[in-house]
Amino acid sequence: MAQNTSPLWQVTHNGVTTGKGLVATRKIPKGTLIIEDMPLIKFDTRIPSAEYDDDNSKFFRQERKGQANIIQKAVSGLSEEDRTKFRDLHNRKESVGDQRVDDISIAENNAFDFDKNGTKWLSVLTVISRVNHSCAPTAYVTAFNTVDGVNLGRTKLIASKDIDVNEEITCEYSFRRPWLDVFSERQRECWRGWCFVCVCRACHEDERPRVLREWGQMRDMIRDILAPMPAPGNKKALSERVEDAEVLMNNLAKWGFSDRRVANLYARLAELNDRAGRYQEAYNAALEGLYIEGNYYDHDEPDAINERLSAVLAKAHSKLV
């Protein structure tokens, strides 16, 4: 049978959280690369990364005051065609009629940030910037840091769970806030960062009691699983911990959490299995974690989680052959 090569997504108003968004044109299995996108524009905010993380509205305040006109310069450097694509990202209802201010709003609402040489850079992508936020997403975007900067801003959108045909493709916007945050904290972050009230499936009023309960339990489990490991001889404690970790990973997968923060938990699951002498399970968990980690790096950048996963994988492999 011929492979279907048409895009897995379409940009539409229908069945999306807000404005235009992406929906799946067919079933997308978890782990699928949905699209790889290049930045339409990217620019250096010239604000140190740490400072930017503390107050991400500072840059846009400065731009509105016309202090450096970084966005304006980036937009005027675009080709006619790309400028149209950029301005098409705007929600017309929000237009204030001043093109300079509208361009700043487009950048503020659609940019992804990444670090380079100690300062924060922003990039606006043609397709991925259209993906709406959900606190319980169906996909994740990869981080943007590369060692040599050649691929700077190249971004992948990957399914974090099985996505149904016509289901919206969403991602979580903020990687800075603590994971599985409570409702009020998530809302504050969405408002502070992107000026919207989240109405995703986890924030929906009918869902809220269940989310509070389930996510509260998951937070407790994460804390327990990351606590110091039981001694190798303590078989009972070890097997309980492994069981809990497996339940947690299944719950996280169900909610669509499969981004980089999950790799840390896979590392722990792999280590627990290794300590319990369950080498096949250790191998599988390490491989899953490395797969997620691998999506974040185009180069062999040394990374603590990567090293832990690789160590377990190598050991488990030697035990299994």
Q: Establish if 262 lies at the interface with Zn ion (CB under 5 A).
A: no
- Output the smallest distance, CB 164 to Zn ion, in A: 19
Q: Establish if 169 lies at the interface with Zn ion (CB under 5 A).
A: no
With CB under 5 A as the rule, give the number of residues binding Zn ion: 5
- Output the smallest distance, CB 249 to Zn ion, in A: 22
- Output the smallest distance, CB 134 to Zn ion, in A: 6
Q: Establish if 200 lies at the interface with Zn ion (CB under 5 A).
A: yes
Angle at 24 between CA 175 and CA 293, to 5 degrees: 35
Provide the mask over 111-150, with x wherever binding to Zn ion is found by CB under 5 A and - wherever it is not: ------------------------x---------------
Q: Establish if 198 lies at the interface with Zn ion (CB under 5 A).
A: yes
Q: Establish if 171 lies at the interface with Zn ion (CB under 5 A).
A: no
- Output the smallest distance, CB 247 to Zn ion, in A: 23
Q: Establish if 265 lies at the interface with Zn ion (CB under 5 A).
A: no
Residue whose CB is less far from Zn ion, 35 or 135? 135
Q: Which of 152, 196, 41 is nearest to 103 (CA)?
A: 41
Joined tokens for residue 9: 């997504």
Residue whose CB is less far from Zn ion, 198 or 263? 198
Q: Establish if 203 lies at the interface with Zn ion (CB under 5 A).
A: yes
Q: Establish if 211 lies at the interface with Zn ion (CB under 5 A).
A: no
Residue whose CB is less far from Zn ion, 27 or 191? 191
Residue whose CB is less far from Zn ion, 192 or 235? 192
Q: Which stretch binds Zn ion (CB under 5 A): 29-37, 43-51, 97-105, 202-210?
A: 202-210
- Output the smallest distance, CB 296 to Zn ion, in A: 23
The binding site for Zn ion (CB under 5 A) comprises: 135, 198, 200, 202-203
